[in-house]
Amino acid sequence: MRHRILSAVAALALSCGGGFAQTLDPFEHGWTLDPAASAIRFLSVKKNSIAESSTFATFSGVIGPDGSTKLQILMDSVDTKIDLRNVRMRFLFFETFKFPEATITAHLEAEQLRDLPQLRRKVLDLPLVLTLHGVEVPLTAQVTVTLLDNDRVAVNNSAPLILPLAEYNLEEGRAKLQDAAGVDILPFGFVNFDFLFDRNQPGTPMAPLPTAAVAPGAAALETKGDLDHDACVGRFEILSRTGNIYFNAGSARLDPQSAPLLDSLFDIVRRCPDLRVEVGGHTDSDGSDRENQRLSQRRAQAVTDYLLAKGIAASRLATVGYGEARPVVENSTPENKGRNRRIEFVAIGN
């Protein structure tokens, strides 16, 4: 009699229950991230003791029926709670105009999770690959998996992911941030995540991850449409520090690699319709004063021509070549000379 009762209860659970109660397969139907109930945090430390935490507003993720897992973060959506700090992180550090997304890929093993319905919570060492700033790095994360109910699971890292910035080619970005903010920043970042996944309903196709935003700043947390005066001035100052406008040595021809930054520049100029913008060219001290002045003028004009071709009115742009007259650092090393070879943008009003 007792055996028949237990069999009936088991059959009822299999016929009515969802999630793990349905099957021995923990990934049946696949899972989709609930971004509204999830969070990703990136923490940096300045002045050796002050921690600053940023989050990301736009991300998505799936766990496939075979345990394959992928998460996508739109880097433009970085949120420091301060507008111009967001812009610095986007343009100077993460260079989102070139690297608009980061991804996390992993493969969850079914055998590791079959007993989750009984244990409800497990800590796993999960191998994953983080692709950030165009660099793929394999990592192992200690994650806690918690079964909240049969169709909802929480996944969070039990210990922060420590990211040496040099491994992701982010040291140059760190130097730009330090220069812009006037503070020292540790050469490490720390990542924490709290993800909630919901099991897909039977017969529901897996939701594909969205493609990265194409328009400059499309996922950015900022005012849409026209920007106010301070926001415009701050953005031009930040874009002047990027160093992502490229020319061949001694040439005023724009390298195609300049296009992502120039397209972002166009978007900002377009959204500051009440301001005129000076496009200023600068060189290092190699060569004669006269040749440097001519080269800086031609390079500034090449940037102006790019904006004109995109539809910015000529009356809104002023082009100036300063040659070697305004170095930001002494021309004492190749690195310093590289910093002095630049294009700057200054709001000059109407």
Check residue 290 and give its pLDDT.
94
The pLDDT tens digits for 7-39 are 333 333 333 334 334 455 788 889 999 999 999
- Six-digit token string for 217: 């700043």
Return the percentage of the chain with pLDDT > 90, whole number: 79
Three-class SS of the chain: CHHHHHHHHHHHHHHHCCHHHHCCCCCCCCEEECHHHCEEEEEEEECCCEEEEEEECCEEEEECCCCEEEEEEEHHHEECCCHHHHHHHHHHHCCCCCCCEEEEEEECCHHHHCCHHHHCEEEEEEEEEEEECCEEEEEEEEEEEEEEECCEEEEEECCCEEEEHHHHCCHHHHHHHHHHHCCCECCEEEEEEEEEEEECCCCCCCCCCCCCCCCCCCCCCCCCCCCCHHHHHHHHHHHCCCCCCCECCCCCCECHHHHHHHHHHHHHHHCCCCCCEEEEEECCCCCCHHHHHHHHHHHHHHHHHHHHHHCCCHHHEEEEECCCCCCCCCCCCHHHHHHHCEEEEEECCC
Report how far residue 66's alpha carbon sits from residue 260's, in angstroms, rounded to the nearest whole number: 37
Report how far residue 38's alpha carbon sits from residue 75's, in angstroms, rounded to the nearest whole number: 16
Give the mean pLDDT of 78-89. 96
Query: Over the chain, what is the mean pLDDT?
Result: 89
Give the mean pLDDT of 216-234. 89
Give the mean pLDDT of 53-64. 94
Q: Which tops the pLDDT comparison, 207 or 231?
A: 231
Check residue 17 and give its pLDDT.
38
Q: Report residue 279's pLDDT band, with 50, 70 and 90 as the boundaries.
A: very high
Give the mean pLDDT of 41-61. 94
Report how far residue 48's alpha carbon sits from residue 51's, in angstroms, rounded to the nearest whole number: 8
Give the mean pLDDT of 279-286. 95
Put residue 131 in one of left, alpha, beta given phi > 0 → left and psi -120 to 50 → alpha.
Answer: beta
CA dihedral of 310, 311, 316, 319, whole degrees rounded to 10: 40
Domain spans of the chain, in order of start: 18-199, 229-347
**Do 44 and 52 form a contact (C-beta atoms < 8 A)?**
yes
Return the percentage of the chain with pLDDT > 70, whole number: 90
Q: Which tops the pLDDT comparison, 72 or 208?
A: 72
Strands 59-63 and 68-74 turn out to be: antiparallel
Sign for the CA dihedral angle at 88, 93, 98, 103 comes to negative
Check residue 18 and give its pLDDT.
40
Rounded to 5 degrees, what angle do the CA atoms 84, 342, 317 make? 75
Check residue 16 and give its pLDDT.
37
Check residue 7 and give its pLDDT.
39
Check residue 215 and give its pLDDT.
65
Give the mean pLDDT of 274-279. 96
- Six-digit token string for 269: 């100029």
Check residue 20 and give its pLDDT.
39
CATH T-level assignment (fold) for domain 229-347: 60s Ribosomal Protein L30; Chain: A; (3.30.1330)
Is residue 346 predicted with pLDDT exceeding 90?
A: yes
18-199 is a CATH 1.10.8.50 domain: no
- The residue assigned the tokens 């970085």 is 78
Check residue 213 and give its pLDDT.
57
Q: Is the pTM of this model over 0.75?
A: yes
Is residue 291 predicted with pLDDT exceeding 60?
A: yes
Report how far residue 77's alpha carbon sits from residue 341's, in angstroms, rounded to the nearest whole number: 30
Check residue 206 and give its pLDDT.
72
Report how far residue 149's alpha carbon sits from residue 133's, in angstroms, rounded to the nearest whole number: 36
Q: Report residue 248's pLDDT band, with 50, 70 and 90 as the boundaries.
A: confident
Q: Report residue 5's pLDDT band, with 50, 70 and 90 as the boundaries.
A: very low
φ, ψ (nearest 5 deg) of residue 286: -70, 140
The pLDDT tens digits for 176-219 are 999 998 999 999 999 999 999 999 988 777 777 666 555 667 78
The pLDDT tens digits for 164-176 are 999 999 999 999 9
Check residue 1 and give its pLDDT.
46
Q: Report residue 48's pLDDT band, with 50, 70 and 90 as the boundaries.
A: confident
Distances (CA, A) of 86 to 53, 105, 185, 229, 310: 12, 26, 16, 17, 26
